[in-house]
Amino acid sequence: MRPATSKITDCQSFLAKREMLRQYGKTLVFTNGCFDILHAGHVTYLQFAREQGDALIVGLNADASVRRAKGPSRPINNQHDRALVLAALECVDYVVMFEEDEPISIISQIIPDVLVKGADWAHYVSGRDIVEAHGGKVVLAEMVPGKSTTGTITKMKGIHHA
Predicted local distance difference test score (pLDDT) of residue 58? 98
Least Cα distance to 47 among 25, 31, 27, 24 occurs for 31
Predicted local distance difference test score (pLDDT) of residue 78? 97
Cβ contacts of residue 8 below 8 Å, gap of 6+? 83, 84, 87, 94, 95, 97
Which domains does the chain carry? 4-161 (3.40.50.620)
Predicted local distance difference test score (pLDDT) of residue 122? 79
Is-contact 149 43, C-beta < 8 A?
no
Predicted local distance difference test score (pLDDT) of residue 159? 66
CA distance 116 to 47: 11
Predicted local distance difference test score (pLDDT) of residue 33? 95
Predicted local distance difference test score (pLDDT) of residue 1? 67
Predicted local distance difference test score (pLDDT) of residue 145? 66
Ordered per-residue pLDDT tens for the chain, 162 residues? 677 899 999 999 999 999 999 999 999 999 999 999 898 999 999 999 999 999 999 999 999 999 999 999 999 999 999 999 999 999 999 999 999 999 999 999 999 999 999 988 778 999 999 999 999 999 999 887 666 655 665 666 676 554
Is-contact 61 33, C-beta < 8 A?
yes
Predicted local distance difference test score (pLDDT) of residue 100? 96
Predicted local distance difference test score (pLDDT) of residue 60? 98
pTM of the model as a whole: 0.89
Q: Which helix (H) or strand (E) holds 152?
A: helix 149-161
For residue 98, the SS3 value is strand
